[in-house]
Homo-oligomer: A and B are copies of this chain.
């Protein structure tokens, strides 16, 4: 840990991986199927990405982890020399797969691609992730949908903790860090229980999963705080699948070190850009003859070379280049935003940064 911020739990640190040293807090762009949608691996580097996330569920189904193992692992397969974190598949099994059947041993589900039946156990989730070869891998968890009853979440929690222990047992590669995933829905005592149980097993890092799945923001923050309060100071904390710049500021203020989210690339494909002055829905009519850059304060390749009018045209004409350029800008913006947060922590100005940012959010209504 390099620095912490007065009055908040924000911290600046580094993660050392076999594919580079990653400064935290960090935003990890999502490369679901072995590609961050629309971007080449070289562009990821240019946009400042040091580590990306890939989805075990997707890569297991297609092209298959054995193909990726034969390719020399996911880094070689996708020609990416930075860090990779793979999730455990738990979230996708809960959100994408059909016809789930959860037992104490694992989850039976049908593929969203071809309807074929699969059974994923903690040991298999680890074996698949070892074949993929990411730098950071996740313990297999049951990601509970929102809303869910206290009793169900409690039972799922116990399974997730047991599965985490089995994942640690099953792990055989020395060059991968296995993180446990804190679950517990929006129930503070279950978050506490989950965090404590995982810490007893002991992991080099802890993820907080099952948030930003539909619950109100204040419930998310309470659940997050309840988990973090019981996680060790000296281990990285990763808030899974979250989120927006607001989430970053508030997550960091509560002690989160790592984030991932599909938002910047997904919203780009629909023609929306994040800028220092809020969202710009560039596909809208007002930008038809706007020959200024997406974000006048941004120095990314897109903002230096292309106008809002051109990007609007590309998006409306459904040209690939539109989604691609907006994705690049948004990923660049998210990474730069996180770097600004880190600099503020290091410089001791994070409380002011946070205050200014929240005031801006109030002004622009986001």
A49, chain B: closest CB distance, angstroms: 15
* A79 & B309 in contact (Cβ 8 Å cutoff): no
Asked if B317 and A33 sit within 8 Å, CB to CB, the answer is yes
- Cβ distance A38 to chain B, nearest Cβ, rounded Å: 5
A279 on the B face (CB < 8 A): no
**Chain A 304-330 near chain B by CB (<8 Å), digits 1 or 0:** 011101101110110111011100000
Answer yes or no: A35 CB below 8 A from chain B CBs: yes
Complex Cα–Cα for A312 and B64 (A)? 13
Q: Are A321 and B63 in contact (CB under 8 A)?
A: no
Task: Determine whether the beta carbon of B324 is less than 8 Å from that of A67.
Answer: no
By a CB distance below 8 angstroms, the chain B residues around A317 are: 33, 58, 62
Check B79 against A313 for contact (C-beta < 8 Å): no
Given contacts A288-B63, A320-B324, A310 and B70 within 8 Å (CB-CB): no
Complex Cα distance, B306 from A72, in Å, reads 13
Residue of B nearest to A324 (CB): B320
Any B CB within 8 A of the CB of A184 = no
Residue numbers in B under 8 Å from A41 (CB-CB): 305
Given contacts A34-B313, A67-B309, A77-B310, contact A323 B321 (CB under 8 A): no
Q: Does A78 contact B (CB under 8 A)?
A: yes
**Closest chain B residue to A317 by CB distance?**
B33
Residue ID in chain B nearest A327 by CB atoms: B320
The residue in chain B whose Cβ has the minimal distance to the Cβ of A310 is: B77
Contact check: which of B70, B289, B323 meets A320 at CB < 8 Å?
A: B323
Can you name the residue of chain B whose Cβ is closest to the Cβ of A305?
B79
Further contacts, 10 of them, CB under 8 A, given A38-B324, A40-B324: A34-B314, A38-B320, A38-B321, A39-B321, A63-B313, A70-B289, A77-B309, A78-B310, A79-B310, A320-B324
Query: What are 11 residue pairs bridging A and B, where the CB atoms are less than 8 Å apart in the complex?
Result: A33-B317, A35-B314, A37-B319, A37-B320, A40-B321, A42-B305, A63-B288, A63-B316, A70-B291, A77-B307, A324-B324
